[in-house]
């Protein structure tokens, strides 16, 4: 799903806060950077480490009291019940009038809210806890008082609402975890995220993505999937669900039934999938079944048409897909939530009736309206909308559908009971407010940081090392020049609607280890003037080794031209792909190539350690890039983690492992 749709004023405020944060934490960001960068990972900063790294015990699931639920249902008006079925994006900025947020929660009585960095997830833990406590207090002040699902996009890579900028600990994300070929690594990563989310009062992370990485030309899910092999993805999906559950966090498996080979992005418009029913059932449904078998309590649908399942009907509106297949055939009894109803796949399409009504009739329990009462995003002109797009009006529309016989109150009651049961199961009524001091001590603990660093070491994948150029010898007096994509990227994946912000860069992390390194930064799609300047500077430095940190370089004409111009200089080049591992398709002339899968501080620190030989890359490709770089390929010598050996996950493919014992230090 997309980042929450918010008005412009908070956006500008958040951008100002980000800039202030960077200025305080990161120092000078001039193109001519020759100063040593600050270490943003806080690994060696004892002030950020909890004194008790193992104080993490949570109670098991709470008992579901049906009599209590019956009492709550009897006290709720029809409008209040329908309001429980809405997940609404809110803003909780303390220096603004709370306005819509308080009205949605306390007066209208929505059952779920979504928060995003800057307008809900603050830039330090105490800020976030203040916000989540305030939201829960408003909810409990209603009649009757019912605690909230508080959601945030927390997939681990990007998006990750709780990250190094907001007090969290960077994680590899699904593709990085898939590269470990160890589902237990996924458990460890999601456990860390679960600990931090629970401490902050965020109980619904909208993850894991359990889709299959289909092909690099269809990019909306490419870095958000564990890989291309169904069995492997299913194993990782189950462990992600279990890890969140163990922290009393409600996992959400998404996006059912899987994007597959559908071309396009549902954020911008409708996607049509022509995969055969056999392929969908054999390849795309098993990870969802694994999540169900692991006990997942929420599944998100996708706004995509499957011509061989239910022709002409998006999955979110399909009774066959939701009720017959997901509930009937797959035995799922938990909550079903729609993807954002504001997405272009819904808003840009002519509809016969209100989308909320159609979704509920098909079997959806929760309608996701990330924008709330804000103007809809994705470039859709509100004047062209067919339906009212205000939360109170949407609820009234559902009531009208009941009065007209399209829906029944019994159907509403089914969903509300599921919502209340889930809230009771995860102890929402018992746990109550979070303690801000305890939350601060539960984030960025030394154990979380060290475990995450090991996860990154296990995920980062070395695909090339011609002439054993790696590791570089820091004592050899080499002239090293680094050109890296900067920390502020406008997109998460090509043509995405989400930004990607890091508090460091590969150049700075290299310079931390090798002070003599020189370098520059570039935007994801640099223009010709910037390309010419960067090439001239590189020529003037005349380095012994050039290090390039690409960011989806294969997909952008400007970045492709820049990297090729640099390679034409004939300098031995090491390339670190900080997003898509597919960049090597366009730049096979590099001497060494690392797939890092992320541009966050911890993975870039680990990547720098690998380049200088103090760590070993242990990952293997979770996707096939080419005949030379197939799934399972990696130059590595050891595949252990935290003292555990690689589990016997053997997808039906030859996993090629090349021993590089002589090339790397332990």
DSSP string, 348-382: TS--SS-HHHHHHHHT-SBEEETTTTSPP-TT--G
Distance of CA 104 to the CA centre of its chain: 26
Closest to 508 measured CA to CA, from 640, 580, 608: 608
Exposure string of 199-230, with b = 16+ CB inside 10 Å and e = fewer, is: bbbbbbbbbbbbbbbbebebbbbbbbbbbbbb
C-alpha to C-alpha distances, 211 to 226, 250, 314, 483, nearest whole angstrom: 8, 18, 17, 33
- Among 153, 265, 339, 340, the one annotated catalytic: 339
Report how many helices (DSSP H) and strands (DSSP E) the chain contains, helices first.
22, 19
Q: Give me the helices (H) in 271-334, please.
A: 277-279, 286-293, 319
Contact 86, 391 (CB under 8 A): yes
Residue 613: other Cβ atoms inside 10 A: 16
Strand partners, 494: none
**199, two tokens:** 């401490």
Give the Cα-Cα-Cα angle 354, 355, 357 (nearest 5 degrees): 70
- Among 40, 170, 255, 267, the one annotated catalytic: 267
Secondary structure, 3-state, 428-474: HHHHCCCCHHHHHHHCCCHHHHHHHHHHHHHHCEEEEEHHHCCCCCC
Give yes or no: 267 in active site. Answer: yes
Give yes or no: 297 in active site. Answer: no
What letter does residue 646 receive in the DSSP assignment? P
Query: Which helix (H) or strand (E) covers residue 272, if one does?
Result: strand 271-273
Matching residue, tokens 């979770």 = 622
For 104, residues 6+ apart whose C-beta sits below 8 A from its C-beta are 88, 90, 110, 113, 372, 391
Active site residues: 267, 339
């Amino acid at each position: 799903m997309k980042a929450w749709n918010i008005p412009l004023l908070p956006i500008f405020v958040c951008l100002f806060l980000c800039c202030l944060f960077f200025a305080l934490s990161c120092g000078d960001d001039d193109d001519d950077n020759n100063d040593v960068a600050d270490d943003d990972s806080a690994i060696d900063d004892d002030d950020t480490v909890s004194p008790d790294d193992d104080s993490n015990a949570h109670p098991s699931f709470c008992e579901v009291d049906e009599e209590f639920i019956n009492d709550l249902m009897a006290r709720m008006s029809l409008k209040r019940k329908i309001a429980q079925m809405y997940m609404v994006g809110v803003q909780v900025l303390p220096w603004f009038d709370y306005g819509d947020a308080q009205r949605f929660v306390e007066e209208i009585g929505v059952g779920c809210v979504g928060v995003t960095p800057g307008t809900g997830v603050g830039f330090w833990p105490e800020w976030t806890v203040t916000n989540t406590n305030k939201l829960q207090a408003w909810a409990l002040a209603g009649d009757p008082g019912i605690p909230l699902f508080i959601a945030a996009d927390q997939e681990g890579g990007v998006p990750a609402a709780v990250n190094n900028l907001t007090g969290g600990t960077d994680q590899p994300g699904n593709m990085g975890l898939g590269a470990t070929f160890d589902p237990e690594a996924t458990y460890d990563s999601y456990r860390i995220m679960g600990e931090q989310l629970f401490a902050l009062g965020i109980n619904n992370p909208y993850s894991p993505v359990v889709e299959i990485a289909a092909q690099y030309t269809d990019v909306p899910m490419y870095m958000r999937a564990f890989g291309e092999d169904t069995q492997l993805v299913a194993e990782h999906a189950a462990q992600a669900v279990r890890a969140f559950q163990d922290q009393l966090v409600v996992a959400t498996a998404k996006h059912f039934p899987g994007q597959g080979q559908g071309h396009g992005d549902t954020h911008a418009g409708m996607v049509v999938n022509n995969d055969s029913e056999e392929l969908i059932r054999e390849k795309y449904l098993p990870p969802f079944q694994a999540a169900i078998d692991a006990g997942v309590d929420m599944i998100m649908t996708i706004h995509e048409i499957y011509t061989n399942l239910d022709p002409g009907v998006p999955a979110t509106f399909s009774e066959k897909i939701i009720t017959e297949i997901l509930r009937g055939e797959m035995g799922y009894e938990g909550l079903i939530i729609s993807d954002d109803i504001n997405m272009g796949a819904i808003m840009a399409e002519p509809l016969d009736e209100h989308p909320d009504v159609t979704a509920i009739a098909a079997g959806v329990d929760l309608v996701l309206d990330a924008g709330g009462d804000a103007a809809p995003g994705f470039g859709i002109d509100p004047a062209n909308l067919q339906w009212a797009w205000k939360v109170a009006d949407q609820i009234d529309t559902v009531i009208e559908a009941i009065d007209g016989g399209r829906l029944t109150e019994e159907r509403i009651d089914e969903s509300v009971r599921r919502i209340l049961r889930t809230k009771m199961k995860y102890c929402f009524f018992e746990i109550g407010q979070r303690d801000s001091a305890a939350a601060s001590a539960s984030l960025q603990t030394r154990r979380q940081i060290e475990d995450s660093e090991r996860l990154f070491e296990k995920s980062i994948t070395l695909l090339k090392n011609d002439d054993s150029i790696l590791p570089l010898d820091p004592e050899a007096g080499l002239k090293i020049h680094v050109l890296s994509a900067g920390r502020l990227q406008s997109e998460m994946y090509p043509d995405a609607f989400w930004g990607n912000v890091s508090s460091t860069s590969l150049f700075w992390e290299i310079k931390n280890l090798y002070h003599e390194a020189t370098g520059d930064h570039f935007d994801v799609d640099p223009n010709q003037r910037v390309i010419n300047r960067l090439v001239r500077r590189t020529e003037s430095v005349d380095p012994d080794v050039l290090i390039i940190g690409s960011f989806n370089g294969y997909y952008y004409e400007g970045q492709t031209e820049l990297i090729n111009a640099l390679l034409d200089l004939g300098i031995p080049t090491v390339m670190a792909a900080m997003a898509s591992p597919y960049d090597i398709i366009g730049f096979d002339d590099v001497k060494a190539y690392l797939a890092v899968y992320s541009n966050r501080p911890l993975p870039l620190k680990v990547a720098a350690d690998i380049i200088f030989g103090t760590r070993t890359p242990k990952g293997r490709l979770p996707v096939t890039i080419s005949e030379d770089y197939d799934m399972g390929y990696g130059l590595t010598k050891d595949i252990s983690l935290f003292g555990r050996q690689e589990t016997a996950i053997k997808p039906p493919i030859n996993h090629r492992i090349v021993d590089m014992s002589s090339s790397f230090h332990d």
